[in-house]
Chain A
Amino acid sequence: MTQENEAKDEWEPKIIGFLCNWCSYTGADLAGTSRLQYPPNIRIIKVMCSGRVNPQFILKAFQEGADGILVSGCHPGDCHYIEGNYHARRKLTLLMDLLDYMGVDSKRFQMSWVSASEGQKFAEVVTTFTNQIKEMGPQTKLRGVK
């Protein structure tokens, strides 16, 4: 038990964050400009719109061994491409059901809306999500599955 706990403490989750270019990426920039601190586990991949995120990316990332995945876009109604974030929301909500069905806790996958002015919110979202994944431990269900 003690050993397991120790292993959990040492283990650091790998998290991938897909951020849209116009809101969330810029929000993450503001978090930086404001020198807000958040856990360093997230690896950011910029996409032009959250609607670009293909469910395949999420599954692939879990296969490659990601422990948590975050998709963040403009607030509903604020999409730079009019309605891309609605597409993302609809599509990726369905994916959550699929993940649960496959035995991957869908809490490992999160969507958020962070605007370009919400540096604080971005830092909070990443911090909360990272801590949550840390609690959940490593993702093993899809890791290495071909």
Chain B
Amino acid sequence: MPDQSDDIIRQYYEDVPLDEDYLLQVPEIVMMDDESLVDEPEIEVSSEMAFRKSKKTLEGDVLVVGAGISGMQAALDIADKGYRVIMIEKSATIGGNMVKLDKTFPTNDCSICTSAPKMVEVARHRNIKLITYANLSKLEGEPGNFKARIFRKSKYVDPDKCTGCGDCVPVCPVEVINPFEEKLAKRKAIYIEFPQAVPIVYTIDYDACVGCGSCERFCEPDAISFLEKSEDIEVSVGSVIIATGYELFEPLEMRREYGYGKYPNVITAMQFERLLSSFGPTDGKMKRPSDGEKPKSIAWIQCVGSRSKQLGFPYCSRVCCMYATKEASIAKELEPGMNVSVFYMDLRAYGKDFQQYYDKAKKMGVEYIRSRPSSVYQNDDGSITIRYMDTHTREVAEKTVDMLVLSTAIMPSKENKRLAEALGIEIDDSGFFQVKSIMTDPIMTTRDGVFLAGCNQGPKDIPDSVSMASGAAAKAVAPIIDRVKVIPTPDPPQKQVVGEKPRIGVFVCHCGKNIHSFLDTEEVARYSETIPGVVYAKDIMFACSEDTQKDIRQNIDALNLNRVIIAACSPITHGGLFEDTLVEAGLNKYLFEFVNIRQHCSWVHSHNKVTATQKAKDLVRMSIEKAKLLEPLSQEEVDVTTGVLIIGGGLAGMRAALALADMKIPAYIIEKDSELGGQLRHLHTLFPSDIKASEIIQPIIQQVEASEYITVYKNTTLENIEGYIGNFKATINSPDGEIEIDYGTTIIASGFGEIDMTGKYGYGQSQKIMTQTELEGRILKNDLPNPKKIVMINCAGAMDKERPYCCRIGCGVSIKNAKLLKEKFPNSDIYILYRDIRVFGKDEEEYFAKVIEDGHIKIVRYSHEEQPNVVIDDDGNLTVKVRDQVYNEDITIPTDLLVLTAQTEGDPSAHKLVEMFKIPIGPGNFFIEAHAKIKPLDFATGGVYFCGSAHFPKNLADTIAQAEGAASRAAIPILKGKITLEGITALVDDARCVGCGLCVDACPYSAIELTDEGKALVNEALCKGCGLCNATCRSGAIQQKGFNDHQILAMIKSAMFEVI
């Protein structure tokens, strides 16, 4: 596939002084004259510096370094706002670590399926200039005016010519270890990392290549170019986002007691992901490395390299408990008879739906063993025996499994040090990038104008990375907000084709040998020409090459074609390219049909040329019949009203408003209380830095109230919502009466609170029993009597039938408050009764360990089955009885202060919003996002976003990242100013509509309503073109444009036609 973004970008960067020889093709004569060129000393120099060309310059608005899921999200968020992104990635493809995963927790969504569309979007985006195989070497300047030096390595393959056919691979004689497959497989010296790589351009591994030239001889499009040079690029931008990700700990030296690298059947969790992946080295089959046999038992060891300063890193890696649970339950799902166990210290199922996911895994039969494994050894049959101490029974035991998976730590990239120097930013003790302030600015680095996204400042799961990436996009846009945005060049005027007879042009692609070798493309073209309506049919070498595009445009013009059919590869990867070709030739892009005769024909029927040719003819004929019925579709544009309505004036709502104000977008905050600040108003200090909550929240309130872009309505409730994305009208009930606000997008930040504990653990029966928030209120007011013995019960009301989730923050809060009490009452004894200590991520684990050690806090583990019992005697004395699970004994603690770490739930007002915005809500009144992994801040309903604890309880840093992320999402339609509607939408024929309303019920987007006249009416702004209504309508009145009944029936009919 040619690098399509390149041409388009060049078109938009016309004022950029590109070097004249930018992407210049090496004259063929040079190659022919001197075939031994590769042997010349100049080229033998191992350093690629020798290849450097003179400098090239590029201009953009934001530079994004790293194109994993975080980088891609940040780039798309900025580009969608109309600013130019320059994106660099050190690998040959974008996608990062996420594409290596098989599935993602807790939904078991296929990982590549959710990341690949983003990759294609990045590559095709008009405002993103993608430079792969490149590194940043220096950053100079200040916010608004940075200059970055980029070194792009040569791939030795011309991106414009490479079609991604892969013919070069079998002929390459060199095999090297494949890092993408985590060393489980080999690849050739010429390679793409995986089949869905973007851009699909092969790369020659310079260090491995022996220069035999086989690939060059076999490459039909002549894409191999040993003379293609690396280059230095100077980039001018206004801000910089660093999204360089993480590396995984390799237990070769530290933690070598687990036998990794010594015993073949000990692998890392990422290697196991590759074994599960359908495009991995075993095609998704679980095989153990030593003999390829299917394992009958697998064990996971957790925290390998995490939670230990001596044996790796002091922090918790945050994701391992859940990925091990995911891998174990997938293994169990694939092989129900398999013995699957997880050796863990604390099971940290802290996130949204995590606890339920963990409970489900246990139900499936995954065995969780709370233990400390000390060593492993290999048996003669290749199986592995784990020696461990069970921390419940305190006994040393052994377990033998066929395969052992190590849940290895997330660690800072080894590149960080070099990159930090190049960027002029700082790194922390562990080697992650230092954030400006974990409590107030978790997205900023120590250098102004340089922002962070994803795991490069600490371990994170995917949704937290994506939220943070959006947040970084908001921050990065602020300094350049006044820059002129990219104005898309208008398309040439469209030819009028309605009412004309179909004049169809058919182009049948050879794709080099990929189609042509397995089916007779000339015959397909000859046959197509005989079908009525077809005026031109031709077979072509490469449909996607630039010269063919020109040929297609010329034919459209010369022969007055009004429908175009391309029989080639997949519309998923190449559809957009040909649509652009049509548009350039003045044809509506919907007058186009793509026939997939490569993936769906030549490649899957490569043993019988006759039947493959027959099938290709059928497929082309079916599309011709459909094409005759195609109509031009228009994509309406709707103006957007500026302004964002924010529901909730807590930390999340306020930080979202401030981020919007930085982008000069008006924000209207409605707060039901008399004061801004939300939950933070009731708290004394914050975890894990002991900073006073008031020191955080007061400056933010002041900033909000001082901002000229923010209007605050206190004591106000939302009464009604009308409209849709881009044009909402809210009616609010404020002390000044009813007010109407016209605005563009909505952010819901309605927050959360502790549940009512009445009736649980004696709450309500004694003044000495209180919740954590009440405790902090009492400390704030200084009205606590001097307690001698304090007990805290964690998970109070949590993880039961009614509220099956973990509250995510309780462990942190209890530890922080234990420290607070200890400082206030140094002579007191403090007990924390807990189920699992879930202090996840960086800083929290370290804080926890320090408090427990310094404060002599006693921690007692109890089980869900044996809950602590609170006894209040007649004199009002409190006693807590609990079964200590670690020492297996009952203990009785008389106490004069009992603090309940109460379960939390979303604000009760959330239910009202469900109706108003047609958004879903889940357990505990928390809203359900559009996609748990890649759309954590969006709803399926367009123009409505959410953040903070309305999503799920979270700490300060995560809340701020989400709030700024939601601001970025909400700003996109507003900064664009216009919304382009789907071309493929539903259309109602009023004469046929009987007003039964079935389509109204079927529509997942609430895009259809019944008018007063009893007719269905489609709101095109909301319609996403799925066609559910069409399949539901019993009178054929509602039709999906581009896929209407006539068009599909025409395909069905012609599919049955026998070709002689």
Which residues of A come within 8 Å of B, CB atoms? 14, 16, 23, 25-26, 28-38, 40, 43-49, 51-57, 60-61, 64-66, 77-78, 80-84, 87-88, 91, 115-121, 123
Contacts and interface: CB of A to CB of B under 8 A. Distances in A.
B113 A116 contact: yes
B1043 A40 contact: no
Given A26-B572, A30-B279, A37-B607, A52 B1030 contact: yes
A25 B1043 CA distance: 15
Contacts of A88: 1031
A145 B619 CA distance: 24
Contacts of A43: 615, 618-619, 622, 1055
B94 to A, nearest CB: 17
A88 B1032 CA distance: 10
B1031 A116 contact: no
Given A14-B1056, A40-B615, A117-B278, A48 B604 contact: no
Given A34-B279, A116-B110, A51 B1031 contact: yes
B173 to A, nearest CB: 21
A43 B618 CA distance: 8
Given A37-B605, A38-B604, A48-B1026, A120 B284 contact: yes
B587 to A, nearest CB: 21
B611 A40 contact: yes
Main secondary structure of the interface of A (DSSP, over half): mixed
- Chain B residues touching A, range: 35 or more
Contacts of B538: none
B110 A32 contact: no
A133 B895 CA distance: 75
A49 B1025 CA distance: 9
Contacts of A53: 1031
B1043 A66 contact: no
B673 interface: no
A12 B196 CA distance: 33
A54 B603 contact: no
Given A44-B619, A48-B984, A31 B1028 contact: no
A115 B1031 contact: no
B868 to A, nearest CB: 38
Interface string B562-586: 0000000011100000000000000
Contacts of A28: 596, 599-600
B1049 A57 contact: yes
Contacts of A56: 1045
Given A36-B604, A43-B622, A117-B113, A60 B1052 contact: yes
Given A40-B614, A52-B1040, A81-B1026, 14 more contacts: A14-B1056, A16-B1052, A29-B570, A31-B604, A40-B608, A40-B611, A40-B612, A43-B618, A48-B1040, A52-B1027, A66-B1056, A87-B1028, A117-B112, A119-B279
Interface string B1028-1060: 101110000000100101001101110110000
A31 B599 contact: yes
B1049 A29 contact: no
A130 to B, nearest CB: 12
A46 to B, nearest CB: 8
B599 A87 contact: no
Given A91-B1031, A117-B110, A117-B279, A29 B600 contact: yes
A115 B1056 CA distance: 27
A69 to B, nearest CB: 9
B111 to A, nearest CB: 8
Given A32-B604, A35-B604, A40-B608, A87 B195 contact: no
A93 B1025 CA distance: 23
Contact of A78 (B109, B1051, B1056): B109
A140 to B, nearest CB: 14
B606 interface: yes
A59 B984 CA distance: 25
Best-buried of B283, B1040, B1048, B1051 by chain A (most CB within 10 Å): B1048
A16 to B, nearest CB: 6
12 contacts: A34-B279, A40-B608, A43-B1055, A47-B1027, A49-B1028, A56-B1045, A57-B1049, A64-B1055, A81-B1004, A81-B1024, A117-B277, A119-B278
Contacts of A81: 1004, 1024, 1026, 1028
A43 B866 CA distance: 61
A87 B369 CA distance: 42
B107 interface: yes
Nearest to A15: B1055
Contacts of A26: 113, 116, 570, 572
Query: Top 6 closest A-B pairs, CB basis?
Result: A32-B599, A52-B1027, A81-B1026, A116-B113, A32-B603, A82-B1004
Contacts of B571: 46
A87 B600 contact: no
Interface string B1010-1032: 00000000000000111110111
Nearest to B603: A32
B274 to A, nearest CB: 13
Contact of B600 (A32, A34, A51): A32
B598 interface: yes
Nearest to A44: B600
Interface in B381-400: none
A20 to B, nearest CB: 9
A14 B611 contact: no
A45 B1051 contact: yes
Given A30-B195, A54-B1045, A81-B1024, A64 B1053 contact: yes
B940 interface: yes
Interface string B813-828: 0000000000000000
B1002 interface: yes
A52 B599 contact: no
A82 B1040 CA distance: 18
Contacts of B1024: 81
A31 B278 CA distance: 11
Contacts of B1026: 48-49, 51-52, 80-81, 84
B16 to A, nearest CB: 35
Contact of A32 (B107, B598, B1052): B598
B1035 to A, nearest CB: 12
B618 A33 contact: no
B515 to A, nearest CB: 11
Nearest to A31: B604
Contacts of A51: 1026-1028, 1031
A131 to B, nearest CB: 15
A31 B283 CA distance: 12
Contact of B1031 (A38, A45, A87): A87
B1049 A49 contact: no
Q: Pick from A40, A46, A47 the residue with the most CB of B within 10 Å.
A: A40
Given A14-B1055, A54-B1045, A48 B603 contact: no
Interface in B170-221: 195
Contact of A60 (B283, B940, B1049): B1049
A46 B116 CA distance: 19
B1032 to A, nearest CB: 7
A35 B113 contact: no
A121 B603 CA distance: 16
B1055 A45 contact: yes
A106 B195 CA distance: 37
B1004 A83 contact: yes
Q: Which of B600, B603, B984, B1040 has the most CB of A within 10 A?
A: B600
Nearest to A49: B1026
A55 B603 CA distance: 31
Given A34-B279, A35-B606, A84-B1004, A57 B1052 contact: yes
A25 B278 CA distance: 16
Contacts of A49: 1026-1028
Contacts of A37: 604-607
Contacts of B940: 82
Nearest to A35: B603
Interface in B408-461: none
A48 B1030 CA distance: 12
